Structure 1
């Protein structure tokens, strides 16, 4: 019964249906915002909201350039923003090489970076494996997004120092973080000794996820969202919120190719679904350094209290495993990732397992 109450709280369902968020009013003048997955249903609306808020430069990170060009036409027509202030950059998160090249392009070409908004996702209910050898949901939702975040983190830090205002990493999460958690398999206790180096990429919990040993494929999307949320929580614990703010956001549900794959989902959205504009406003608002939100989950314009699942001892231990195994994967991909991790070690200290769990207990 506890699992059902926590996974499907009636108050959240009512809140999801009734929300009518006001348009954000804080200007993004002179700021550069990078939106990954910009052509998605919700993120395309968020791009329009950002344009209405006078964003300085809007960078659309997309897989399909044709769809992005059509979106630019819509933004220019509906929002009156100059076309020159919108850039299209191609990136394919199913490829680590594409992700690395995209980050290198941004680091070289952008004078500043104020917001990294990651809204890309895939929800494959059948298993697909990428050219890099990982289950596609896991690579797109977690590994490539973590890789991109690390590679762009120095740019965000430099921009914060130069412009004397916090920059923002905002990740569009999902109610799946709440709904999937109680049903997933955790790493085996003691599977990774705290004094040993991280498990190599071919082994460990992430590889079990990729091989379908953690949860059914139909629920893989939710587990990947949980894993990335845990990774972001850990990253936030090593960053100064006065320099870089880290947010996760549940913008609610709307009709999209990701959420209409089943009869139950279509029926739910018909009754309780939000408009894409409402979701887009929530996403745009998450690009602001909201007070007391660093490292937390946002729901609409408020900081959401963590569920008992996210506070559990098992989940705290999983954060450590996810952080270490993700590190072993990403450091093998790029010396730049090695350098960023080394700098995080210097600032936060390379944490022992016990110290790490104490730091995120609350």
Structure 2
């Protein structure tokens, strides 16, 4: 049972909202950073001020992104030719795969993959691929993109002799949604595909519709944590970040969200600084959740037996989905399997053990 004060640590969230984070000082000189979603617009400005080599925006709305580019050039004095805008629609697996292939072929190097795209539909929409939209955008497509770009990130780390980074923008909903979710039952026979826990989540059987966003964030966090256990942090550093709450199209979509924002919201600049900082291989953050500039202590829920079971199920089921979508994903997972075989048991999170 998740304790109420652990799921809703309003005191901590209030302190986070009032925190004044200093501007990051680490240079991003000559690094290539791919940003998924215009939601990370303030972080892009911070990265520009830190002399990032190349910014690549992967967005659904190109016109909106071009307006952001104009702002960065004007406000930061950043060279327009160092910013690329590419279209990707995460509600489409084909668009996601095409985007990953484009980046793999066209970019000389990829140092940071910043995953900040999300949707928060309070009504249920199903994509053309047959998945609930929140689940596909927040988890499945982002997992597909991370897997397909993993070889590029690893090659870039070898070139630079410095870790590449996958940073996933999460939220406090990872804590708050846990008490409202149904967890998978691991002792029952595995249902035939396409049934399973992810399919139940897609069909609205795991939590109520207003909590679907948080459930999908939990799914992706579980998957990210499992992935990190298979990667050498000296090559690819993986973590998630809770940057706090700021005004955005997602946060103003309902009366409850607006009230929450009024009580716990912070300026876009402070959120941008937190997100930019998460693009660094922060000490002890590999596989963990960052709370601004600090590594957050895992909640009791995320270290529970139920959470370990859920991580394994989400990892396995996501692998089944992604391998069906891409032969490249099959090969990349096979490479990860070889690394598992060569690891000591204490390096592997229980959720991905055979």
Question: What TM-score, normalized to structure 2?
Answer: 0.96
Distance 1:81 1:336, change over 3 A: same
Gaps of 5+ in 1: 194-198
Question: Quick one: distance in 2 between partners of 1:154 and 1:260?
Answer: 37
Which of 123, 126, 130 is equivalent to 2:123? 126
Asked whether 1:145 is paired with 2:137, we answer: no
Which of 48, 51, 56 is equivalent to 1:54? 51
Structure 1 segment 262-277 matched on structure 2, within 5 A: 262-277=254-269
Question: Quick one: distance in 1 between partners of 2:64 and 2:128?
Answer: 24
Asked whether 1:186 is paired with 2:183, we answer: yes
What's 1:28 paired with?
A: 28
Q: List per-residue Cα deviations over 1:298-325 (Å, max 9, x = no partner).
A: 0000000010011110010000000000
SS state at 1:271 partner = helix
What's 2:94 paired with?
A: 97
What's 1:248 paired with?
A: 240
SS state at 2:283 partner = coil
SS state at 2:24 partner = coil
Structure 1 segment 223-302 matched on structure 2, within 5 A: 223-302=215-294
Which of 70, 74, 79 is equivalent to 1:73? 70
Asked whether 1:334 is paired with 2:326, we answer: yes
**How far did residue 12 of structure 1 move?**
1.4
Question: Quick one: distance in 2 between partners of 1:360 and 1:342?
Answer: 13
Gaps of 5+ in 2: none
SS state at 1:310 partner = coil
**How far did residue 263 of structure 1 move?**
1.9
SS state at 1:89 partner = strand
**How far did residue 357 of structure 1 move?**
5.5
Distance 1:347 1:76, change over 3 A: same
Paired residues, number: 352
Q: List per-residue Cα deviations over 1:30-61 (Å, max 9, x = no partner).
A: 00000000x22xx0000000000000000000
Distance 1:214 1:163, change over 3 A: same
Please tell me whether the aligned partners of residues 180 and 208 of structure 2 are also in contact (alpha carbons under 8 angstroms): no
Question: Quick one: distance in 1 between partners of 2:296 and 2:321?
Answer: 31
Q: List per-residue Cα deviations over 1:168-212 (Å, max 9, x = no partner).
A: 00000010000001220001132356xxxxx66511000000111
What's 1:310 paired with?
A: 302
Please tell me whether the aligned partners of residues 317 and 357 of structure 1 are also in contact (alpha carbons under 8 angstroms): no
Distance 1:19 1:201, change over 3 A: farther
What's 2:196 paired with?
A: 204
Please tell me whether the aligned partners of residues 103 and 151 of structure 1 are also in contact (alpha carbons under 8 angstroms): yes
Question: Quick one: distance in 2 between partners of 1:192 and 1:162?
Answer: 46
SS state at 2:301 partner = helix
